[in-house]
Amino acid sequence: MGSEICPVVGNKQNILKSIIDKAINNIDQNKKINLIWLEAATCSGNIISLLNAENPDVIYLLRKMVNMTYNNSLMAEEGERAFKKFLDTLDTEFILVVEGAVATKNNGLYNVIARYKGKTITGMDAVAMAGKKAKYVLAVGSCASYGGPSAARPNPSESKSVYDFLDREVIRVPGCPSNPQWVIGTIASILINDNPELDKENRPVLFYGITIHDLCPRRSYFDKGIFAKKLGEPECMFKLGCRGPITRTDCPIRRWNNSTNWPIGDNTPCIGCARNGFPDSMEPFVRY
Ligand code: SF4
């Protein structure tokens, strides 16, 4: 299913492009909204995924769309100077993006993100501080959205999703990691004051409105009851444990790394990484 020929792909890409173009036209380049991207209890996979963004890429996001004032991985400042930028942003209008769950055991000490004026700042402190003041909060990735691997059994750090930790509206952009187009597209929707249409789990319908199964290129095998018996075979992987029928994302048409490929395209069953309950209730990832 090539993105240049499929009308569904073309339509989705056009919608995304028009949202981003509209956002750019609406932004006063001298007054871009600030954005804090906070890495809490995470593998940092979502910021890495963002760096892989294409069309638009991360440079476009940073130059044209937002003013990223704080990010644990990308900023030039270190130590107290870095955390001061986080604190300074709290007195402005800003978007808070959190990747990673919130480790809550021992007042969050399982996830220390800074030391400032002799005080230890945990991810839990930072999410609470910024979560209170942010104009919008995006939980990016499955840990921030649902707890994900960070909160998986036996969850020694007593981690929680940002959605459960904060007592306010949080837009979920799940995935392990989240596709960069889901993130940039959601930010663009916010920027045009056209808050994305959300489903009942607070996910943008534009990206999470269909299941992987709905548009899977192996769907005709499923419909005819022809199933792969082992990995590497070209047929439907339902009987190998594929979670595509219960996982809502547009992976089959959006794909990854500039639309190069995606798990099912590489003969791996969907493991439901964007779903509530991942990974505990999605295991075993492959069944025979
Ligand atoms: S491989 Fe998975 S998503 Fe694709 S048709 Fe089979 S069950 Fe559905």
Task: Look at residue 66 and tell me if it is in a domain.
Answer: yes
Domain count, the chain: 2
241 plus 145 within the same structural domain: no
Are the C-beta atoms of 34 and 65 separated by less than 8 Å? no
Which protein residue has the closest C-alpha to ligand 1 atom 7?
Answer: 238
Task: Look at residue 104 and tell me if it is in a domain.
Answer: yes
Q: Ligand 1 pocket, 212 CB below 6 A? A: yes
Q: What percent of the chain has pLDDT over 90?
A: 84
Ligand 1 atom closest to the CA of 219, numbered from 1: 5
Q: Ligand 1 pocket, 228 CB below 6 A? A: no
231 alpha carbon – ligand 1 mean position (Å)? 13
Output the pLDDT for position 211: 97
176 plus 232 within the same structural domain: no
Output the pLDDT for position 4: 45
Q: What is the pLDDT of residues 247-287, one digit of tens each?
A: 999 999 999 998 899 999 999 999 999 999 999 999 999 98
Distance CA 252, CA 254 (A): 6
137 plus 247 within the same structural domain: no
Is the pLDDT assigned to residue 13 strictly greater than 80?
Answer: no
224 plus 146 within the same structural domain: no
- Start-to-end Cα distance in the chain: 28
Q: What is the pLDDT of residues 147-172, one digit of tens each?
A: 999 999 999 999 999 999 999 999 99
Q: What is the pLDDT of residues 173-223, one digit of tens each?
A: 999 999 999 999 999 999 987 678 999 999 999 999 999 999 999 999 999
Output the pLDDT for position 10: 67
Domain boundary (189, 207, 225) is at 207
Tell me how crowded residue 5 is: count the other CB atoms within 10 A of its CB. Answer: 8
243 plus 121 within the same structural domain: no
176 alpha carbon – ligand 1 mean position (Å)? 19
Confidence of residue 9 (pLDDT cuts 50, 70, 90): low
30 plus 145 within the same structural domain: yes
287 alpha carbon – ligand 1 mean position (Å)? 14
Ligand 1 atom closest to the CA of 212, numbered from 1: 3
Ligand 1 atom closest to the CA of 227, numbered from 1: 6
CA 217, distance to chain mean position in Å, is 24
- Its pTM stands at 0.93
* Cis amide leading into 279 (omega within 30): yes
